[in-house]
Amino acid sequence: MDFDLTDEQKAIRELARRFADEEIAPSAKERDEKEIFPDEILKKMGPLGFLGGPIPKEYGGAGLDYIAHAILTEEVGRACSSVRTTLSVHISLAQLTILKWGSEAQKKHWLPRLASGEILGCFGLTEPDTGSDAANQKTTALKKGDRWILNGAKMWISNAGKAELAIIFAQTDKSKGAKGLAAFLVERNTPGYSTRDIHGKLGMRSSNTGEIILEDCAVPAANLLGEVGQGFKVAMSGLDHGRYSVAAGSVGLIQACREASVAYAKERVQFGKPIAGFQLVQEMIARMRVSEDAARLLVYQAGHLKNRGRPDTIATCIAKYFSTEAAQQAAMDAIQVHGGYGYSNEYPVERYLRDARVATLYEGTSQIQQLIIGRHETGISAFV
């Protein structure tokens, strides 16, 4: 593996970092406090190609490789995890799933609109009673003529209240279990489709999270994504991409924690000298740096496999598990470095901790990642 970035990857990092510093970071605190969705930021990201990074140019994307995609996601995550979440779901869960499983007609119709930012996408898998047990979908799909009638509810869906297109997973035949699942492309303006925003979140406050309610929602048969019975595979492939972008964004969050801690430790004076000179403060900063580098290399390893079309599920699980847990620890250390000030919103590190926490939960909890890795190592599944 070549550890040197290509000229294109370097250019993406420079462009993304400048955009993050100038357009995303300055208003991150206000957006978090007031739960302001980053509509204006997304409008500016579209023309730069940020909203369709890894999507091939023939479908309106920027055609980035997966390392460049990770670099872009990392830089956005360094500035604001809420914007990164919006971006991750829109690209990794929605667009890349359509790219892999969609018909040529579906890809040509939807991907250019999604990649340009004309519309936003979401991924409707989680349900009120179905989190990690993704195969146990309660939402149903009944075929009637040239339509599928969907009934059910989805919960904790990022972008739900803003997305014009949702990938909805539903059970077509309960007797078949996971083999009865199917995925559907559902437009917001479809009769019987509605959403309700969720407020009061611990973190990621300026990203949109909500419920999707389906009441006799009639979807054209042409909107079936893949084939009936492939729904579980569609969902798992989408999660592979989602976990990759969450891991990359977590690298950015670790970097943000380190940069904030170094700056504060140099300016904060105690006992007659900057606290950066205290050994135990340096220990915490050193831990952040090591975690950042290790997490980034794990992400790049998974991206390397993706670029070559090789199986990447385990590498992605490892990257997601390590990066998200490391981001949580880095945020804890950053607050410790900042002392009492770290416990207030005068500095951004308290937001970093709140935002880091959910990354160990969505796209598969840390425990789910461990079980997937454990199954790979032992050949024995801990799942039922």
Whether residues 348 and 245 share a domain: the answer is yes
Whether residues 170 and 63 share a domain: the answer is no
Whether residues 111 and 181 share a domain: the answer is no
Whether residues 110 and 148 share a domain: the answer is no
Convert the pLDDT of each residue in 224-278 to its tens digit.
999 999 999 999 999 999 999 999 999 999 999 999 999 999 999 999 999 999 9
The number of distinct structural domains making up the chain is: 3
**End residue of a domain, out of 101, 119, 137:** 119
Whether residues 183 and 217 share a domain: the answer is yes
**End residue of a domain, out of 84, 119, 154:** 119
pLDDT band at 5 (very low <50, low <70, confident <90, very high): very high
The C-alpha angle with vertex 225 and arms to 219 and 226, in degrees rounded to 5, equals: 140
Whether residues 246 and 369 share a domain: the answer is yes
Whether residues 114 and 14 share a domain: the answer is yes
Whether residues 252 and 369 share a domain: the answer is yes
Listing DSSP states for 230-246 in one string gives -HHHHHHHHHHHHHHHH
- In 180-335, the DSSP E strands lie at 181-187, 193-197, 209-220, 224-225, 269-270, 273-274
State yes or no: pLDDT of 152 exceeds 70: yes
For the question of residue 363 being annotated catalytic, the response is yes
Considering 75, 211, 350, 363, which one is annotated as catalytic? Answer: 363
State yes or no: pLDDT of 15 exceeds 80: yes
CATH number where 359 lies: 1.20.140.10
* pLDDT average, residue stretch 23-45: 97
pLDDT for the residue numbered 134: 78
Supply the pTM of this predicted model. 0.95
In this structure, are residues 86 and 159 in contact, taking their beta carbons and an 8 Å threshold? Answer: yes
Does residue 365 sit within a domain? Answer: yes
How many CB atoms within 10 Å of residue 378?
A: 9
Whether residues 226 and 256 share a domain: the answer is no
Sorted by sequence, the CB contacts under 8 Å of residue 302 that are 6+ apart come out as 66, 244, 247, 312, 315, 316, 318, 319
Print the domain residue range for 132: 122-230
As a residue count, the chain comes to 384
Backbone angles phi, psi at 166, to 5 degrees: -125, 140
* pLDDT average, residue stretch 366-377: 96
Convert the pLDDT of each residue in 184-236 to its tens digit.
999 999 999 999 999 999 999 999 999 999 999 999 999 999 999 999 999 99
CA-nearest of 191, 193, 187, 153 to 170 is: 153
